[in-house]
Amino acid sequence: MSRSRIPPILRPRLTPKYVASSIAAIYVVYCWLWGMPLLSSKLPAYTGPHAVGTIDIESPCDGRKTSDVKYKSTGQPAFLLETVLFSVYYPAVKGAKSDKPNHLWVPKPLAVTAEGYAKFAHISNFLTNSLFTVALWGIAGSTTIPANVDVPLRETAPSFEFTDHGEGKPTEGNDGFPVIVFSHGMASSRTDYTHFCGELASRGYIVAAIEHRDGSGPGSIIMNAGGTEKTLYHFGLDDLDVDQSFGIPELKQAQLDFRQAEIEETVRVLRAINDGSGATIFETNPRKEGEHLASWTGQLDMTNVTISGHSYGATGALQALKGAPCKERPFHGGIILDPGKSSGPLNHDVDVPVLVIHSNSWSKKRSIFFGQPHFSVVKDLVRQVNKRGMAGWFMTSLGTSHPSVTDAPLIEPTLLSWTTGSSIDVIDGVRMYVNVTEEFMLYQKANRRTGLLALNVTHPEYDEKSNGTQQMPKCYQRFWQIHVAPDSA
Ligand SMILES: *[C@@H]1O[C@H](CO)[C@@H](O)[C@H](O)[C@H]1NC(C)=O
Ligand SMILES: *[C@@H]1O[C@H](CO)[C@@H](O)[C@H](O)[C@H]1NC(C)=O
Ligand SMILES: *[C@@H]1O[C@H](CO)[C@@H](O)[C@H](O)[C@H]1NC(C)=O
Ligand SMILES: *[C@@H]1O[C@H](CO)[C@@H](O)[C@H](O)[C@H]1NC(C)=O
C-alpha cells in the first residue's frame, strides 16, 4: 500500500501517544473478536485419567475445488483445497516423554495471525501489522498447549462401562477410540478450543480439530508435501472477483461448502490412518509429526464418528449432517454449540442424535434469524429430530457467554465478566461442556441416557430469571436449563 493512501491517523508517527492509542485499538479489536480482555494465564492441565498427546497433521488433497470463485488480485481459485490441516488430541501412553516442544497456542509465525486480525479490523498496513504482532506476542506469544507432542497412543482402546452417575469409564475393548471431528468458529483457528479438545482426550476420546482455510480465520500457513509454504490470509467479498449476484450470503455458503470438504478430507485421512496407512500419512506430513501413526491401525472407531462445532463451525457441522451417516461423513451424532446467528440458514435435515447447547448470552440475546426468533428456529430444529425418532436435546448453559467453550477465557480470565456478561468460573465453563459432551458420547455409542441427558425438559423457553428447578438434581440447577429432550426416558 502506498504511503499516501494510508489515512493520516495511521501514518507512522512513532510518538508515545500514537503507540499507546494503537495498543488501545488492538485491545478493543481483540476484545471485540473474542469478547476478551488482555493479560494472560497459563492453560490449565487436563483432569481425565489419561495423559494427552497431540499431533498436527497436514495432508495433501487432490486439488478439490468447491467453488469457481477467484481472487481479484491473482485470478487464482479461492476455494481450492490443496491440503487439509488438523490437530489431533488423543489419550497417550502414561508417562511418555516427548522430545518435541509443546505447541504454541498462537502458531508461528505470529505475524500471520496478527495481520489477520488487523485485516478483520480493516486497518492492515505495515505499522499496524507490526504493532499487532508485538501485542499478540505480549498477550499470548509464549502460551503453550499442555499436551505432549507426538507421543504414542495409549495401547488399548476403551469401550464403555457405566456407573450410577452415568460417567463413562474406559475399559478394555476393541471398538476403537471414539472419534470427534471439531470445527471452529469465525475469526478462529485449530488452536482456539484446545482445552475442550484436550480435556476430552484425557477422558478417552480422539478429537480432530480442523483449521479451516475458508478465509474466515485470521490466517493459516498451507504447507505442501513438497516443502513449499504459502500464507492464506483472511479474505472477504472485496478480495474476490465476483459480480453483483454474489453477496455475503453466497460467500457464506461458499465458505460452508469449503468447510464441509475439509471435514470430509479430515475423515478420509483419519480413516486412512485407521486402515493402516499411518506411515504414509506421517511421511507426507510437511509438519513432520505422527511418527507413531503406523501403530494406530484399527484403533479409531471410524464407523461411528461424532461431528461437533462452535458458532460458524456449528452451522457447518449441521450442514455436514445433511445426508449423514454416509461414507464421506460417517457421523452418527452431532454436538452443536451456539449455532451461528449470522452464518447462513441452519440445516434442519438431521437424521442422527444431536445435542445443541446455547451459551447463556446466545439464548438471552433475542435475535431475528430469517424472520423468526433464532431460539425458536433452533428449538424447532431439535424437535424435528425427535419427531423423526432420533434423540435431540437443546439446552442453555447458564452463566456462560459465546466464547466460554474456547480457550480465550482461560487465557484472559480477569475481565471476562466485564466484556461478555459471563458470570461462571472460567474452568467450570469449559468443563460443563466437556461433561455433557461425554454424556452425549455415551448415548451415541451405547444408547444410554445418563446424567443431564436422562432429565426431562425443565424450561421450554429460556428463562433469564430462573436458576434451574427442583426437577433437576441440585448439581445441575446452577448450570443448565433444558428446552428440548427426547420424549421417552
Ligand atoms: C463435571 O463432572 C465431574 C465428574 O462427574 C464433576 O466433578 C464436576 O463438578 C463437573 N463439572 C461441571 C462444571 O459440571
Ligand atoms: C455406534 O457404536 C456403538 C458401539 O460402538 C453401537 O452400539 C451403536 O449402535 C453404534 N451406532 C450406530 C448408529 O451405528
Ligand atoms: C419425563 O416425563 C415423562 C412423562 O412426561 C415421565 O414418564 C418420566 O418419568 C419423566 N422422566 C424423568 C426422568 O423425570
Ligand atoms: C441464581 O443464582 C445466583 C448465584 O448462584 C443468585 O445470586 C441468584 O439470586 C439466583 N437466582 C434465583 C432466581 O434463584
Residues 319-338 pLDDT 10s: 999 999 999 999 999 999 99
Dihedral sign (CA 256, 260, 263, 269):
negative
Q: What distance in angstroms lies between residue 452's CA and the mean position of ligand 3's atoms?
A: 13
> What b/e readout covers 304-323, taking b as 16+ CB neighbours within 10 angstroms?
bbbbbbbbbbbbbbbbbbee
**pLDDT above 90: residue 173:** no
Does residue 1 line the site of ligand 3, with CB under 6 A?
A: no
CA-based torsion, 381, 382, 385, 386: positive or negative: negative
Confidence bin at 347 (pLDDT 50/70/90): very high
CA–CA separation, 8 and 15 (whole Å): 14
**pLDDT higher than threshold 80 for residue 354:** yes
Q: Is 452 in the pocket of ligand 3 (CB under 6 A)?
A: no
Q: Kindly indicate the confidence band of residue 165, based on its pLDDT and cuts at 50, 70 and 90.
A: very low
Which residues, in sequence order, are bridge partners of residue 92?
Answer: 51, 153
Q: Which of 58-72, 95-109, 409-423 has the highest mean pLDDT?
A: 58-72
Task: Provide the CATH number for the domain around residue 73.
Answer: 3.40.50.1820
pLDDT category at 403 given cuts 50, 70, 90 is confident
Return the best residue to mutate from 448, 450, 455, 456 for the ligand 3 pocket (most ligand atoms within 8 A of CB): 456
Q: Whose CA is nearest to atom 13 of ligand 4?
A: 466
Q: Is pLDDT at 137 greater than 90 in this prediction?
A: no
Among all bound ligands, the one having the nearest atom to the CA of 445 is 2
Q: How far apart are CA 40 and CA 139, in angstroms?
A: 6
Strand 179-183 vs strand 51-65: parallel, antiparallel, or unpaired? unpaired
Residues forming the active site: 311, 338, 402
H helix or E strand, kind and range, residue 15: none
Q: For 80-92, what is the mean pLDDT?
A: 96
Which grid cell sits at 212? 479451516
Closest CA relative to residue 197, chosen from 79, 72, 43: 43
Residue predicted with more confidence, 176 or 168: 176
Q: Which helix (H) or strand (E) holds 226?
A: none
- Using CA positions, which residue lies closest to atom 3 of ligand 2? 445
Ligand 2 atom nearest to CA at 445: 3
Give the CA dihedral 233, 241, 121, 6, nearest 10 degrees: 100
Give the separation between CA 407 and CA 425, rounded to whole angstroms.
13
The answer to whether position 31 is within a domain reads no
Q: How confident is the model over 356-380, as a mean pLDDT?
A: 95
Examine the pLDDT at 75 and tell me if it is beyond 90. yes
User: pLDDT category, 174, cuts 50, 70, 90?
Assistant: low
Q: Which pLDDT band, with edges at 50, 70 and 90, does 40 fall under?
A: low
How far does the centroid of ligand 3 lie from the alpha carbon of residue 324, in Å? Answer: 30
Strand order in the sheet with 206-211: 148-149, 51-65, 80-92, 206-211, 179-183, 305-310, 331-337, 354-359, 392-397, 480-484
Residue 322 within a domain = yes
Of the listed ligands, the closest to the CA of 398 is 4
For the Cβ of 469 lying below 6 angstroms from any atom of ligand 4, the answer is no
Alpha carbon distance 359, 337 (integer Å)? 8
Task: Return the ligand 2 atom nearest residue 159 CA.
Answer: 5
Condensed to tens digits (0 to 9), the pLDDT of residues 11-30 reads 555 565 566 566 666 665 66
Residue 141 contacts residue 93 (beta carbons within 8 Å): no
321 ligand 3 Cβ < 6 A: no
- Residue 380, in any domain of the structure: yes
Task: Report residue 202 as a C-alpha cell.
Answer: 484425557
Residue 391: its H or E element = none
This prediction has a pTM of: 0.86
pLDDT 10s digits, 212-241: 999 988 788 899 887 788 888 888 999 999
Q: Rounded to the nearest whole angstrom, what is the distance from the C-alpha of residue 270 to the centroid of ligand 2? A: 18
Q: 229-233 and 219-223: which strand pairing?
A: antiparallel
Confirm or reject: Cβ of 478 under 6 Å from ligand 4: yes
> Of 15-24, 391-400, 460-469, where does mean pLDDT reach its minimum?
15-24
Question: Is the model's pLDDT at 318 over the cut of 80?
Answer: yes
pLDDT at 18: 61
99: CB partners within 8 A, 6+ apart: none
Instruction: Tell me how far apart the terminal alpha carbons of the chain are, to the nearest angstrom.
Output: 63
Distance, CA 99 to ligand 3 centroid (Å)? 53
Q: Give the ligand with the smallest distance to the CA of 425.
A: 1
Which of residues 319 and 478 earns the better pLDDT score? 319
Q: Is the CB of 175 under 6 A from ligand 1?
A: no
Residue 133's CB is within 10 A of a number of other CB atoms, namely: 20
Question: Is the residue at 15 inside a domain?
Answer: no
Chain mean pLDDT for the chain: 85
Ligand nearest to the CA of 178: 2
Is 469 touching ligand 3 by the criterion CB < 6 Å? no
Tell me which residue of 433, 468, 473, 467 sits closest to 454, measured CA to CA. Answer: 473
pLDDT of residue 42: 77
Question: Is the pLDDT assigned to residue 99 strictly greater than 90?
Answer: yes
Instruction: Say which residue the cell 478394555 belongs to.
Output: 172
| Percentage of the chain modeled with pLDDT above 90 | 61
pLDDT for 416: 52
Domain extent at residue 471 = 44-105+143-488
- CA 74 – CA 146 distance, rounded (Å): 40
Q: What is the pLDDT of residue 3?
A: 45
Residues 6+ apart with CB under 8 A from 347: 318, 319, 321, 322
- Which atom of ligand 1 lies closest to the CA of 165? 5
Q: Which residues contact 185 (CB under 8 A, 6 or more apart)?
A: 192, 309, 310, 311, 312, 313, 314, 338, 340, 406
3-state helix, strand, coil in the chain (%, to 5): 35, 20, 45
Residue 12 lies in a domain: no
Kindly state if the Cβ of 435 falls inside 6 Å of ligand 1: yes
Rounded to whole angstroms, the Cα distance separating 4 from 288 reads 44
Q: For residue 451, what pLDDT band results from cuts at 50, 70 and 90?
A: very high
Spatial separation of the C-alpha atoms in residues 219 and 113, rounded to whole Å: 5
Compute the distance from residue 390 Cα to the ligand 3 centre, in Å. Answer: 18
CA angle centred on 299, ends 294 and 302, rounded to 5° = 110
Q: Which of 360, 422, 467 to mutate to test the pocket of ligand 4 (most atoms within 8 A of CB)?
A: 467
449 Cβ closer than 6 Å to some ligand 1 atom: no
CA distance 410 to 170: 27
Among the ranges 116-120, 184-188, 309-313, 425-429, which has the highest mean pLDDT value? Answer: 309-313
Lowest mean pLDDT among 55-69, 121-135, 159-173, 175-189: 159-173
Query: What grid cell was written down for 47?
Result: 483432569
- Residue with the bigger pLDDT between 345 and 411: it is 345
- Percent of the chain residues topping a pLDDT of 70: 77
- A 10 A CB-CB count for 20 gives 10
Number of structural domains found in the chain: 1
